[in-house]
Chains A and B, each alone.
Chain A
Amino acid sequence: MVFASIVACKKDTRPNYQFMPNMYEPVGYEAYQDSDAFPQGMEAQLPAEGSIPRGDHMPFEIENTNDGYLLAKETLISPLDSMQIDSEKGKALYDIYCGICHGNKGKGQGKLVKREKILGVPSYDDAGRAITAGSIYHTIYYGKNAMGSYANQLNEEERWQVVEYVLKLKADLEK
């Protein structure tokens, strides 16, 4: 009976009671935590401008402009050599991030396009666009037209793996 009455009072929109909360709640800052110590009152902050992640990450210096796009299209090439290209990994990432719109074959017929949620996704073998490794990378990094940037979902190496996979799909489409 006691149990029943307590269960009846328990609301699902509110967390349950904790026993000895000081064992549960962290002393340090948790990701996304509220905090007065930072601007905007939250722990999550953008990295300082110009900061570079550790490791051998080189900043991407081509600008997010039409000229930058053309520059990338003509000059940028993949740093991966043939041994580093992992088309399984590229496919896995492509299917998660790109296939939903571009379709798993790259024809621009992903599930969202078929359901008419997002329209006008071009096929990779589109003659007017004539994409290259550099232009694909630039587009993933900054987005283009209606497509947004995927720079925060994929790291540099992953982006190049996806680029290689897109080129493979393009070659398959052009056969």
Chain B
Amino acid sequence: MKKSYQSLEDNSTNTMIQVIYRKLTSNFLNLGLVFLLTFSTSLIAQEGDPVKGKTLFNTNCASCHKLDKKMTGPALRNVEARLAEEQGLDREWLNAWIRNSAGMVKSGDAYANKIYNEYNGTAMTAFPQLTDQDISDILAYTAEPPAEKVDGPVPPIDPNQPPTGGVSNKLILGALAILFALLAIALILVRQTLNRFAEAKGIDIAKEDKSVPIWKAFAQNQFLVLVTVIFFLLASAYFVFGYLSQIGVDQGYEPVQPIHYSHRIHAGDNGIDCKYCHSSARVSKHSGIPSLNICMNCHKSIYEVSAETQQEGLDEYGVDYNAEIQKLYKAVGWDDAEQKYTGETEPVKWVRIHNLPDFAYFNHSQHVTVAGVECQTCHGPVEEMEVMYQYSPLTMGWCIDCHRKTEVNVKDNAYYTKIHEQLSKKYGVEKLTAAQMGGLECGKCHY
């Protein structure tokens, strides 16, 4: 009735002639409404909207169920049809199970108990809030045929193959080389012709006098020799000094790790906090290599990367990310098909990148938790690194530089109140640097 009222309102400005038509449309609408109502009551339990179902599935079910793969619970593709065929269970059973599975197990339903025991007695969370329509939507989503894999076979990557941008560069360079060669030939030809002209006209071309060769002149000038020798000695001393002072400095060290782990994807694209994995940086001397159970916190359910990420990895970095996840599963002993740990583990031999000499002491927690220094201050833009490398030189001069510049945040820190007063008076400054608080004392780091 609401609809006819609305159409009456819409048409109220129209002329009288249209009244008949208006009535007709409203009648038609009413008829349609009645038809729809009768139809939908009979179908309300079957017709679901797979699009809505996907959203509902992702929020409610996906933590334990996948469509084509066993997870905490069974795979759910075509679950309704399968149950009907294999177990003779209807929608009523499913509704009851979804709303209160624990109750069904208790009531002694045979199949409910079978499933419950098959999954190690993990009770499915009850979803009393889902309506009949919601469940229909979800089941419609599970009944959809699997999406066709769009990406064809991945072309193998040749690491020696030059990037596509190089071809045009080479073309231009080649064209330039040919141009220069032609120019040179033209000049030679012109010179020859001119010489022939000169010969024909009987003109003598003046020959140059033989002068002293330049190296001989140089050797004869002792002063110049002396200056050159001194110059070379100084220059080589400079370079030798430069070489010696970078010994033991591993800036830019970028080892190949046993499992290719991309900080770019984890910390950059997904924005996972550094301390999520390197949790011991908050509380201990070491920032720690994360143990594999931390990887498995997420990779238990992320068993493959998205198609775009996989393609990007193959194209830009020559890395098969999915194969790397399989390496993780192998190391940690995770059977992805059975969703179980097999107990056969093999430690991953990560290659340590940042390493201070034994005579220097460094404590992460003091910098991360107490001083609140960002990880990137020392480790550089890790969130952009596909392969992790040492960003800072980690030399003593580099440490000292930072201690001289960094002002200590003493605000709201009772620990510093007294010492801050005394030291501010001593140095006559308002803000203290780490160095003024004793950050340059030898014994702070060397003992």
Residues of A within 8 A of B (CB): 1-3, 6, 12-19, 23-27, 31-32, 40, 42, 66, 95-97, 100, 108, 111-112, 115-122, 126-129, 143, 145-150, 152-155
A108 close to B59 (CB less than 8 A):
yes
The listed residue with most B CB atoms (<10 A of its CB), out of A16, A19, A129, is A16
Chain A residue contacts of B126, Cβ below 8 A = 128
Contact with A along B149-183 (1 / 0, CB 8 A): 00000000000000000000000000000000000
A139 to B270, CA, bound (A): 24
**Total A-B Cβ pairs within 8 A:** 143
Report, as a range, how many residues of chain B touch the other chain.
35 or more
A128 close to B125 (CB less than 8 A):
yes
Chain B residue contacts of A152, Cβ below 8 A = 279, 291, 293-294
A97 to B275, CA, bound (A): 8
B248 close to A120 (CB less than 8 A):
no
Besides A119-B63, A120-B61, 11 other CB < 8 A contacts? A1-B239, A2-B240, A16-B246, A16-B247, A17-B247, A19-B244, A24-B359, A32-B289, A117-B306, A148-B300, A152-B293
Q: List the B residue with the shortest CB-CB distance to A31.
A: B286
User: Is B249 interfacial (CB 8 A cutoff)?
Assistant: yes
Chain B residue contacts of A128, Cβ below 8 A = 125-129
A16 close to B125 (CB less than 8 A):
no
Contact with A along B119-134 (1 / 0, CB 8 A): 0011101111100000
A120 close to B255 (CB less than 8 A):
no
User: Is B139 interfacial (CB 8 A cutoff)?
Assistant: no
Chain B residue contacts of A129, Cβ below 8 A = 125
A26 to B244, CA, bound (A): 22
Residues of B within 8 A of A (CB): 58-65, 71-72, 121-123, 125-129, 236, 239-240, 242-244, 246-250, 252-256, 269-273, 275-276, 279, 283, 286, 288-289, 291, 293-294, 296-298, 300-302, 306, 347, 350, 352, 355, 357-359, 389
The listed residue with most A CB atoms (<10 A of its CB), out of B126, B357, B389, is B357
CB distance from A99 to the nearest CB of B (A): 8
22 contacts between A and B (CB under 8 A): A6-B243, A14-B255, A16-B250, A18-B247, A19-B248, A23-B358, A24-B248, A95-B273, A97-B279, A100-B276, A117-B298, A117-B302, A119-B63, A120-B65, A127-B129, A146-B301, A147-B297, A148-B294, A148-B297, A148-B300, A149-B297, A150-B297
A127 to B250, CA, bound (A): 55
A150 to B297, CA, bound (A): 8
A115 to B305, CA, bound (A): 12
